[in-house]
Chains A and B, each alone.
Chain A
Amino acid sequence: MNETAARRRGALARFWRDYRAQRTGLYGAAILAVFVLLALVTPLVTDPSGLDVTKATGPKMAPPSAEFPLGTDESGRSILLMILWGSRVSLLIGFLAALLSMVIGTVTGITAGHFRGWSSAVLMRITDWFLVLPSLVLALVLAAILGGGTSTIILAIGVTSWAATARLIRAQTLAVEARPYVERSRVLGAGHWHVMTRHVLPNVAPLVLANTTLTVASAIVTESTLAFLGADAGQASWGSMLRGSYDWGAVTSGAWWYVLPPGLCIVAVVLAFTFCGRALEAVLNPRLRGVA
C-alpha cells in the first residue's frame, strides 16, 4: 500500500513538472485562482443587501466614480458588487453543469465501449442524436418548460452537453479494452464491473479531467447565453447582468461600464479554463506533445 502511495506521489510530481512547462496553462490556472478566491471571499467582505433593487443607494446609470468603481445599473446598484456576487452564480453553474455532463458522458461512454451488441448501438444512437441537435435550443426549451432556478439551468446545460464526451470516452474505452492485461484480467474471471471500474476508468480518467476543464468553459458560455435569452437562474449572474444592460438600453446610450465588465469576466474565465484544458491535454496526451 505504501508503495502505491509513493508511486502516485511520483506521478503527481511528474505531472506538475510537465504542467509547469505549459506557460499558457499556468496563466490560466492563475486567472482561475484569482476568480475562485474572489468568489469565495465575496460573502465575507461585502453585503448582499446592495443587490436588492429596493435597497440600492447609488444614482441610476452613473459612470464609474470613487464610491462605485464600476458605476451603477438602472436602479442604482453597484456594478462591482453585482460582478462579485455574479461570479459565484456563474462559476457554480459552470462547475456543476460540467460535472453532470462529465458523469453522464463518462458512464455512457464506458458502458457503450465495454458492452457490445444492441445496448451499445442504442446508447450510441442516443449519443449521436444529442450530438447533432442544437444543444442551446434544447437547453432553452428544457429551461422554459421546467421553470427557472439554479438547478434547472444546471440540469438543462448538463443534459445537453455530454454527447461529445461520451464519444471520446467510448473510443478510449475501446482502445483500453484491447490491451492484453485487460484480457488477462478477464481470463482470470474479472466481471464487467471490475473491468470497467478497475481497468477502464483509471485509464480514461486523465482524458475525462482534461475534457471536463474544457466543458466548464463552454458551460459558462452557455449559462450566460441562456440568461441573456431569458432563462436565468433567478440570481444575478454575469449573463443576466448583460440581459439587464440590453433591456435598459445601456448599449445604445453608451453605458459601457454596464456592458464591458460582465462580458470581460466571462471571456477571462472561459479563456482561463480553455488554457488549462489545453495544457492538461498536452501533458496527458503524449501524441500532442511537441505539436501544440
Chain B
Amino acid sequence: MTAPIEIEPAAGPAAGPQEGRGARRGALGYALTKLGGALLSIGMVVVATFFLFRLIPGDPAIAYTRDVPLTPDQLALLRRQMGLDRPLPEQFLDFVARALRGDLGTSYEYRRPVAELIGERLGPTLLLVGTGLVIAVSLGLWQGTRAAWNHGGRLDRFSTGISLTLWSVPTFWLGLLLLMVFAAGVGPIPGIFPTRGMEDVDAPDGPMYLLHVAHHLVLPCITLVAVVYAQYLVVMRSSLLDEIGQDYVTTARAKGLRDAQVRRRHAVPNALLPTVTLVFLHIGLVVQGAVTTETVYSWPGLGLLFYEAIKGPDFAVMQGTFMVLCVAVIIMNTLADVLYHVLDPRVRSA
C-alpha cells in the first residue's frame, strides 16, 4: 500500500496551516495570528448570541421572567433594567460590556446571577469530562496503535467495527441502556450503580466521599468514553498507517530493530502528532457528549444546567451557558492549533 503524501495534517480541516504568511513569520507570529482568529471567533459568538436571543418571539421581558407573576410597574422596571427601552446599538454595547465584566445577566428561575450558577456547575463538568477524556484518549490511542500495527487482521476489523457501531449509537440511548442494565438491574441481577446525580443526600464525609462520588461517576464516564474514544482510535489508526509506509520505518527495520522498538521509538511518536491535536480540536464533540450524558444521569454540571434552561425555558441561563461553552471550545481549538505548530516542524517551515 502506498501511503498518500499528506501535506495537510490528518487532524482535520480546522488545523489550517494554510495561512502560510503567518507560518513564515515564525512561531510567535503564528501564535498571534491564531490568537487574533480566536478573538474574532469569540467576538462572532457574542454578536451571534446577542442577535439570536433577540429573535425570541414576543416581549423578551416576559419571556425571561416566565412563570413569575409581575405587575405592570415591575415589568416596566425590568424592561428598563434589561435596557429594552434603549436603541438596539446601545443595547448591544451594554451587552458586550457586561459580558466582558463577567456579568451574564440574572436568572429569574433561580433568582440568581447566571455567572454564579455557571461557576457552581463547572466543577462536576470538569470532573466528568476530564476523567472521560483521559480514559478515552488512552484507550483510543492504545487500540488504534494495535489496530494499525496488525492492519487488516481480526483485531483491526473488530475495533473498526466497534468504533463504527458506537459512532452510530446516539449517546443518550447508550446512557439509557447502561442505566437499565447496571443501575436499575435486569431480572434477578440487582442494579450496582446509582441512577442519578453526583452524590446522595446521605453522602459520607472524608475520604469515603471521594469513593461515593467515584461510584456515581462510573456510568456517566463509561457513556462519555464510549462515544468519544472511537474517533481517537480511527485517527491514530490512519495516522499510524501513513507512517508505516514511510521510508524511515523501513530503515529502522533494516537496522535490525525489534518490531516493538520500531513501533514505540519510530512510528508511534510521529503518528501521535495529529492525534494529540485532535483531542483539543474535537472538544466540541466532547462538550456535546457531556450535555447529553449529564442530562441522562442528572449529573449536576454545565450540561444539565443548559438542558434545564432549554426545558424551562430560562433564556438568561441558556444565553450564558451557550456563550461559556462556545468560548471554551474556541480556546481549546486555538490551543490545538498552536500546539500542533510547536510539535510539528514540518508545519513550521511550510
Interface residues of A (CB under 8 A from B): 125, 128-129, 131-138, 140-142, 144-147, 164, 167-168, 171, 217, 221, 224-225, 228-231, 239, 242, 245-246, 251-254, 256, 259, 263, 266-267, 270-271, 274, 287, 290-291
User: How many angstroms between the C-alpha atoms of A146 and B315 in the bound complex?
Assistant: 12
User: How many angstroms between the C-alpha atoms of A125 and B37 in the bound complex?
Assistant: 9
B179 in contact with A251 (CB, 8 Å): yes
Tell me whether B239 is interfacial, beta carbon within 8 Å.
Answer: no
Q: Given the complex, which residues of B lie within 8 Å of A266, measured CB to CB?
A: 168-170, 173
Among A137, A230, A267, the residue within 8 A (CB) of B326 is: A137
- Interface majority SS on A: helix, strand, loop or mixed? helix
Question: Can you spell out 7 A-B residue pairs with CB atoms less than 8 angstroms apart?
Answer: A132-B41, A144-B310, A217-B168, A224-B173, A230-B310, A263-B170, A263-B173
Min Cβ gap B127→A in Å is 19
Min Cβ gap B128→A in Å is 16
Sorted from nearest, which 3 A-B pairs have the closest CB atoms? A263-B173, A270-B168, A136-B288
User: How many angstroms between the C-alpha atoms of A37 and B168 in the bound complex?
Assistant: 22
A259 in contact with B177 (CB, 8 Å): yes
Tell me whether B342 is interfacial, beta carbon within 8 Å.
Answer: no
Tell me whether B316 is interfacial, beta carbon within 8 Å.
Answer: no
Tell me whether B1 is interfacial, beta carbon within 8 Å.
Answer: yes
Min Cβ gap A274→B in Å is 6
A131 in contact with B14 (CB, 8 Å): yes
Given A146-B55, A231-B310, does the pair A132, B292 have CB atoms closer than 8 Å?
A: no
- Interface majority SS on B: helix, strand, loop or mixed? helix
Q: Choose, from B25-33, B90-98, B112-120, B180-188, the stretch at the interface.
A: B180-188
Q: Given the complex, which residues of A lie within 8 Å of B292, measured CB to CB?
A: 136, 225, 228-229
Given A225-B170, A252-B183, A263-B176, does the pair A133, B329 have CB atoms closer than 8 Å?
A: yes
Among B45, B170, B318, the residue within 8 A (CB) of A144 is: B318
Q: Given the complex, which residues of B lie within 8 Å of A168, measured CB to CB?
A: 13
Given A132-B333, A144-B310, does the pair A228, B172 have CB atoms closer than 8 Å?
A: yes
Among B57, B287, B322, the residue within 8 A (CB) of A141 is: B322
Tell me whether B16 is interfacial, beta carbon within 8 Å.
Answer: yes
The closest CB in chain B to the CB of A164 belongs to: B13
User: How many angstroms between the C-alpha atoms of A132 and B333 in the bound complex?
Assistant: 7
**Chain B 161-196, CB within 8 Å of chain A: the 1/0 string?**
000110111111100110110011110000000010
| Most chain B beta carbons < 10 A, residue from A228, A231, A239 | A228
A125 in contact with B165 (CB, 8 Å): no
A135 in contact with B288 (CB, 8 Å): yes
Q: Given the complex, which residues of B lie within 8 Å of A145, measured CB to CB?
A: 52-53, 55-56
B184 in contact with A254 (CB, 8 Å): yes
A229 in contact with B168 (CB, 8 Å): no
Interface residues of B (CB under 8 A from A): 1, 4, 13-14, 16, 37, 40-41, 44-45, 52-53, 55-57, 164-165, 167-173, 176-177, 179-180, 183-186, 195, 284-285, 287-288, 291-292, 295-296, 306-307, 310-311, 313, 318, 322, 325-326, 329-330, 333
Q: Given the complex, which residues of B lie within 8 Å of A141, measured CB to CB?
A: 52, 310, 318, 322
Q: Given the complex, which residues of A lie within 8 Å of B173, measured CB to CB?
A: 224, 242, 259, 263, 266-267
Min Cβ gap B97→A in Å is 22
Min Cβ gap A70→B in Å is 16
Min Cβ gap B238→A in Å is 10
User: How many angstroms between the C-alpha atoms of A142 and B52 in the bound complex?
Assistant: 8
Q: Given the complex, which residues of A lie within 8 Å of B184, measured CB to CB?
A: 251-254
User: How many angstroms between the C-alpha atoms of A290 and B183 in the bound complex?
Assistant: 45
Q: Given the complex, which residues of B lie within 8 Å of A254, measured CB to CB?
A: 180, 184-186
Given A141-B318, A228-B172, A230-B311, does the pair A134, B288 have CB atoms closer than 8 Å?
A: yes
Q: Given the complex, which residues of A lie within 8 Å of B53, measured CB to CB?
A: 145
A271 in contact with B165 (CB, 8 Å): yes
Given A134-B325, A271-B164, does the pair A221, B296 have CB atoms closer than 8 Å?
A: no
The closest CB in chain A to the CB of B308 belongs to: A230
User: How many angstroms between the C-alpha atoms of A164 and B14 in the bound complex?
Assistant: 9
Q: Given the complex, which residues of B lie within 8 Å of A221, measured CB to CB?
A: 168, 170
User: How many angstroms between the C-alpha atoms of A291 and B1 in the bound complex?
Assistant: 8
User: How many angstroms between the C-alpha atoms of A228 and B313 in the bound complex?
Assistant: 15
Given A125-B40, A167-B13, A263-B177, does the pair A137, B325 have CB atoms closer than 8 Å?
A: yes
User: How many angstroms between the C-alpha atoms of A263 and B176 in the bound complex?
Assistant: 10
Min Cβ gap B316→A in Å is 13
Given A134-B284, A252-B179, A274-B167, does the pair A225, B172 have CB atoms closer than 8 Å?
A: yes
Give 13 A-B pairs besides A145-B52, A225-B171, A228-B292 with Cβ atoms closer than 8 angstroms. A125-B40, A132-B329, A132-B333, A134-B326, A135-B284, A137-B288, A141-B52, A141-B322, A144-B313, A221-B170, A231-B310, A263-B176, A266-B169
Min Cβ gap A31→B in Å is 12
User: How many angstroms between the C-alpha atoms of A18 and B225 in the bound complex?
Assistant: 37
Among B52, B57, B284, B311, the residue within 8 A (CB) of A132 is: B284
Min Cβ gap A143→B in Å is 8
Q: Given the complex, which residues of B lie within 8 Å of A147, measured CB to CB?
A: 57
The closest CB in chain B to the CB of A167 belongs to: B13
Q: Given the complex, which residues of A lie within 8 Å of B165, measured CB to CB?
A: 267, 271
